[in-house]
Structure 1
Amino acid sequence: MTTKMVPLATHHLDAVWQIEQAAHAFPWSESMVRAEPSKRACNYALTVDDAVVGYCFGQLVAGEATLLNIAIDPQAQGKGYGKLLLDGFIEQMKAQQAEEIWLEVRASNTRAYHLYEALGFNEINRREGYYPAENGREDALIMTYMIM
């Protein structure tokens, strides 16, 4: 079994769109997933034997990286792929001279929160009522990772 993190390419997008819908209660729109990336984009796919099991969308502007979206196929969760993908994203940002990485996570997404925390992200703020939720709105926790 060969696991690789590779730059996200057009041929990955059908799988990414399927995972986006399966992994998120409020997924990005298909047009957002398939949009032509900007030159600041840092988008990656995680593949196992060339099949996409996860992806992340990010950007890097003036030394500040933002992780915009990350997901692992629900059928592949619990196997360490999320950690592998996030570690890979951090390493890519270090290689591109990022000074810090920012992300937001739903307050209810405790699995993701604990993964981010375990990899060195720190919660620094909260956006109240930021995300749509089943019963109204839910808070976004803002986290940052300082690259030394």
Structure 2
Amino acid sequence: MTHKIVSLAPHHLDDVWRIEQAAHAFPWAESLIRKAPNKIAANFALQVDDKIVGYCFGQNVAGEATLLNIAIDPDFQGKGYGKLLLEGFIDQLSALNAEEIWLEVRASNTRAAQLYEAIGFNEINRRVGYYPSENGREDALIMTYLVM
């Protein structure tokens, strides 16, 4: 299987919307997924052979980047694709002269938090009660990565 990171394009959005709904208990609104990117957008997809298996939405402002949303198709999870996509996102942002990347992750999403830490993100803060959850609210871990 060959994989590559590609810029997210309009023809990818049906796959992205399908994955968003399948991968997240609280998915983004379809209008956000389909919204035309602005000049600070850093949106990418992971293509394996000719299939989109994951995507990420980010932005880059004056060297400070933010990972806003990332997901791998549940049918392809557990195969290392999340790591490939995250490393590809970091590489793309490095090429765009980002110096630092920020993200927030649900405190209950330990698999994602462990992946972020393994790649070099560090938890620097916590937002109490930030995300909706099935039992009310849950905290967001705020993590940062210094681009070398």
Q: TM-score range by the shorter chain?
A: over 0.9
Paired residues, what number?
148
**Greater than 6 Å deviation, 4+ residue runs:** none
Identity of aligned residues (%): 77
Distance 2:97 2:140 in 1: 27
Shift of 1:4: 1.1
Shift of 1:49: 1.3
Instruction: Give 1:126's aligned residue.
Output: 126
Instruction: Give 1:145's aligned residue.
Output: 145
Distance 1:50 1:108 in 2: 33
TM-score with structure 2 setting the length: 0.99
Give the root-mean-square deviation of aligned CA atoms.
0.5
Instruction: Give 2:87's aligned residue.
Output: 87
Report the secondary structure of 1:16's partner residue. Answer: helix
Instruction: Give 2:71's aligned residue.
Output: 71
After TM superposition, list the pairs within 5 Å mapping 1:5-44 onto structure 2.
Answer: 5-44=5-44
Distance 2:56 2:50 in 1: 16
Task: Give the letter for the 2:37 counterpart.
Answer: P
Task: Give the letter for the 2:135 counterpart.
Answer: N
Instruction: Give 1:104's aligned residue.
Output: 104
Report the secondary structure of 1:19's partner residue. Answer: helix
Structure 1, gaps ≥5 residues long: none
Distance 2:115 2:86 in 1: 9
Shift of 1:50: 1.3
Task: Give the letter for the 2:94 counterpart.
Answer: K
